[in-house]
Copies of this chain bind each other. A is one copy, B any other.
Amino acid sequence: MCTQIDSGVVCESMTDQKRIVLKPIGYVRTKAVGDEVKDKGRTSQIVIDSEFSEAIEGIDGFSHIFVLFWLNQVFAQSKMLKVHPRGREDLPLLGVFATRTNLRPNPLGLTLVELLGVNGNVLVVRGLDAFDETPVLDLKPFDFWDMAENARVPEWWTKLNREKSGRS
Q: Which residues of A approach B to under 8 Å, CB–CB? A: 1-4, 7-11, 13-16, 18-25, 27, 40, 52, 54-59, 61-66, 68, 70, 72, 74-77, 81-82, 92, 94-100, 104-108, 110, 112, 114, 133, 135, 137-157, 161
Which residues from B are CB-within-8-Å of A137? 106, 108
| Interface contacts beyond A10-B77, A23-B77, A65-B97: sample of 19 additional A-B pairs, CB < 8 Å, sorted by A | A2-B3, A2-B11, A8-B14, A9-B11, A15-B133, A18-B76, A20-B72, A21-B76, A21-B105, A58-B94, A64-B152, A66-B110, A100-B143, A141-B153, A142-B153, A143-B151, A143-B161, A147-B149, A149-B149
CB distance from A80 to the nearest CB of B (A): 8
| Closest chain B residue, CB of each to CB of A104 | B138
Also in contact, A152 and B63, with CB within 8 A (given A2-B2, A24-B15, A112-B146): yes
CA distance A68 to B133 in the complex (A): 22
Interface of A is mostly: mixed
Which residues from B are CB-within-8-Å of A74? 20
| Closest chain B residue, CB of each to CB of A63 | B152
B153, A62: Cβ atoms closer than 8 Å = yes
Candidates B18, B55, B108, B147; contact of A72 at CB < 8 Å: B18
CA distance A75 to B150 in the complex (A): 37
Which residues from B are CB-within-8-Å of A99? 58, 141
Which of A20, A76, A92, A144 lies at the interface centre, i.e. has the most chain B CB atoms within 10 A of its CB? A20
A22, B106: Cβ atoms closer than 8 Å = yes
Also in contact, A112 and B145, with CB within 8 A (given A24-B15, A72-B16, A98-B56): yes
